Amino acid sequence: GKDPYYHAGAYYIQEPSAMLPASVLGTKPGEFVLDMCAAPGGKATRIAEDLKGEGLLVANEINTERSRALLRNLERCGAGNVVILNEDPAHMTKTFKCFFNRIIIDAPCSGEGMFRRDPFAPKSWEKFGPSSCVPIQTNILGYADEMLMPGGSIVYSTCTFGEAENEDRINDFLEKHPNYEIVPHRELSGVTHDDEGM
């Protein structure tokens, strides 16, 4: 974080697992994309880069303090054609009905994936475990459905391991929205491979 290239916006530091959802999203120039839970901005900076100055990224963060970090990171990386919101997704559905080609949701979660690097994560998990996160995740997915245009795609991710916040959320969403289907993600260097190369 002290490297001048970082402060000049030449790169953004994050773990490989955090980079994966934005890669899977597969944004193309000219699309309208929503990053629904965007702070601190790693996925948003990647999406803005993929847009190549065409289309629109709406980067939303409901938490005011975290939305400031989102703004700093997008500004530092020189992201254009971006609208940054500090809004409840429930309110966004009125303005953005069937608007987006792609929506990425890095949902608020119990954070089990943070245990190894954040000493406060286990205490947070005890206080805000899956039972408090599941209703929020369910609501966010429902709002995404309202804002996605027909034929669009949603990428849902968390930094936790529990089925209740991952597989169960997707299965519940598919039961309530039978017009959706799970599709394999595109080939990604370092993630997918052909069997002959193994």
> Which residue numbers are catalytic?
159
Q: What is the residue whose two structure tokens read 């290239």?
A: 5
Q: What backbone torsions phi and psi does residue 24 show, to the nearest 5 degrees?
A: -65, -35
**8 Å CB contact between 150 and 98:** yes
Question: Alpha-carbon distance 169 to 167, whole Å?
Answer: 5
Q: How many residues in total does the chain contain?
A: 198
User: If DSSP codes are grouped into helix, strand and coil, which group holds residue 105?
Assistant: strand
Q: Residue 124 corresponds to which tokens in the numbers above?
A: 């947070």
**Tell me, what amino acid is at 30?**
G
What is the C-alpha R_g of the chain?
A: 17
Neighbours of 64 (CB within 10 A): 9
Torsion of CA 139, 141, 145, 149, to 10 degrees: 140
The DSSP letter of residue 128 is: S
- The β-bridge partners of 104 are 35, 155
Q: How many Å apart are CA 55 and CA 153, to the nearest integer?
A: 16
